[in-house]
Structure 1
């Protein structure tokens, strides 16, 4: 199936001011956006330009209000504009925006991360999820002295050359670059493996004995749509990697502090060796981190020989927002509320699609979920690619026209925030019912 932009008939939905802004942006920014995920390439049309966000809502240049289920692609678990976070930022900016020197707040947020994330004793802060994954992969190779990495097909770990690879047809196929500028040499030691397949993992270890430094994965896939691990899958990976002397790395950039305070590793009770964190850890500002047991992290410079540095790492504004967000999550424990709201949304979307006789499946873990236009469960990237992308695009625009802002790709997850209410969820369900009626005509 082609993953090119679907040709869809969009509902009447005019955004003249955003259109003018998009034309201006295209003159000075490639594609008019600073991340391809914002370009609406998978659904057609042009993105609205946002002027404000508050609680569960976004507002665009043309005066529209949207219920937001992107949450800046995950970080805004408390909703937009949380007063405590805004106050922390205002206080931080009064004392300076960047020092290039240590601050006490860096220590405080590191201590909190080490307290709540099971795998972490020491943590190094960086400025993006890409940096966190890249640095953790380098650390895995440096700590083990091994060259190869296993990457799960459909799991995204940022635009790192060694991890930006597309799928081969066999479990042990070495990756080929899927972006110009990434050389074959850059991915020569990256081995691709289907998500949720233990047998494929066993085949890879048999083919490359003693060579694999780390197995990298999203414990809950969020970049092929929301795909949870099958029962026993993570436990089996933990057993295999321990036996083989390979580091198990969880990319919890999305799931960290989202599906539980301690992330997916707390939720499933499976502790990896290395963890990459991002999104929520910055409270809406650019921040990320990677961490592990002290014996692994002590390979990192200046203690050990594995080099990694960042001028703006541990930025005082980002740590202020992140520390405040993590403390609120710890002290308020919004996770039962998030579970109830998300379950209500899951059931409502399922009911709306079923009533319209639309082939679908809703997959959810905690406050992350995806409505796949796919007849039956989605276990891996091949399953996800069989979704009806044209139907998704039509549904997306019908929901936009009704004031509901969804991820603009079938292969992304929705995020519910603690700022959403039952009334917001019910509004979304009614919008979905109307959208399916419009689609079925």
Structure 2
């Protein structure tokens, strides 16, 4: 349970913020709880306003690969702020970080900075529609690409259903431009292309799904999606808002050796500060204003605070990758998953999980999870019990089984031992 200060803070917030939060998942509704309010973070830990400390596997939903308040990143932000927080004209720093991102991501030739992952994905779709002169886009059930109207689609159980609005305020005619198909089922996607391929501007996909828990692509699946889009003249957009610099230094595209046409990023490129980016082939990106006719702009795009923090973070990642950073993070995640599976087996509780790079997923499910349907069959009530029990033992995960857990570069054997001990106690409470 949240402490008295967090409880009071939540009641106060509900009077002036919708549901007391500025992003829905923070309200802890999926786990029927009251959120703790953060006071500060340090390394692998987050501290709440009641003085409780938690081993943090939320990591601000992924971008804090260097943990909380890393001294070099904090200094970069402070130095940048001392020179000015926003200018409205170009800075050299924007070019330097763009060069760094392009050097690390194999498919990128030109990048445009924006302010969020949502802004990046909606801008990439606009470019794709302009480049192909087509209007339909394909997304995958359970993959989240931000809250632009045409991404908020509820898919039916048919082979491929026309989009129906998943939120009031989204016009049906807008949602109908989005087709939704199951993740990891290439036959369904192939049938859709055979039927409507000449109308499809782009397929947008999380190469490792991170918004229905952590769900891995089946072997050969992403390669088949790439071949299918290319054969029909549609563009492939990799949403690497979560996987970028997370599953490896070169993101999912390097890990799986696939060149998408366009790629989107989120706050990971700003070390957790508000920022995003989209990029890809030169011929596509030069369609963006002022080089071309596709308009997109933003006063704070490429702001110096995010650019400074992001450049330092990426430089550190490039160096640390040479010393096995990503292998260590994956090993850490695998050990957490292994402990989870062992405890489930010992207690007779169906569980499943897997890890990749700095991401891992834990499910109360008796078999493999490979799409939204299988994830949805996981036991949400058991996850709720597990979440609160772990929180009580000083370990915090996402307040929803439909989200990914994250490891940072500063999680050590000490945090791993604390997590294992907490898990043993948590499993004793699960009914």
User: TM-score scaled by structure 2?
Assistant: 0.98
Question: Aligned with 1:124: secondary structure?
Answer: strand
Paired residue for 2:210, among 219, 222, 225?
Answer: 222
Paired residue for 1:374, among 358, 362, 365?
Answer: 365
> In structure 2, what is the Cα distance between the partners aligned to 1:172 and 1:399?
39
> In structure 1, what is the Cα distance between the partners aligned to 2:422 and 2:398?
15
Structure 1 segment 145-156 matched on structure 2, within 5 A: 145-156=133-144
Paired residue for 2:348, among 352, 357, 380?
Answer: 357
Question: CA contact under 8 A between 2:352 and 2:362: conserved in structure 1?
Answer: yes
* 1:294 and 2:282 are equivalent in the alignment: yes
Q: 2:376 maps to which residue?
A: 385
Structure 1 segment 340-351 matched on structure 2, within 5 A: 340-351=331-342
Where in structure 2 are there 5+ consecutive unaligned residues?
none
Question: CA contact under 8 A between 1:352 and 1:429: conserved in structure 2?
Answer: no
> In structure 2, what is the Cα distance between the partners aligned to 1:79 and 1:121?
30
Question: CA contact under 8 A between 2:27 and 2:35: conserved in structure 1?
Answer: yes
- The runs of 4+ residues in structure 1 deviating greater than 3 Å are none
Deviation string for 1:166-198 (max 9, x for gaps)?
111222211101100001011121111100010
Paired residue for 1:269, among 254, 257, 274?
Answer: 257
Equivalent residue pairs, number = 428
> In structure 1, what is the Cα distance between the partners aligned to 2:420 and 2:259?
36
Paired residue for 2:91, among 94, 97, 103?
Answer: 103
Question: Aligned with 2:101: secondary structure?
Answer: helix
Displacement of 1:90 in angstroms is 1.0
Q: 2:174 maps to which residue?
A: 186
Displacement of 1:354 in angstroms is 1.7
User: TM-score scaled by structure 1?
Assistant: 0.96
* 1:421 and 2:412 are equivalent in the alignment: yes
Structure 1 segment 21-36 matched on structure 2, within 5 A: 21-36=9-24
Where in structure 1 are there 5+ consecutive unaligned residues?
1-12
* 1:204 and 2:185 are equivalent in the alignment: no
Structure 1 segment 6-45 matched on structure 2, within 5 A: 13-45=1-33
Question: Aligned with 2:179: secondary structure?
Answer: strand
Q: 2:389 maps to which residue?
A: 398
> In structure 1, what is the Cα distance between the partners aligned to 2:249 and 2:2?
41
Question: Aligned with 1:210: secondary structure?
Answer: helix
Q: 2:238 maps to which residue?
A: 250
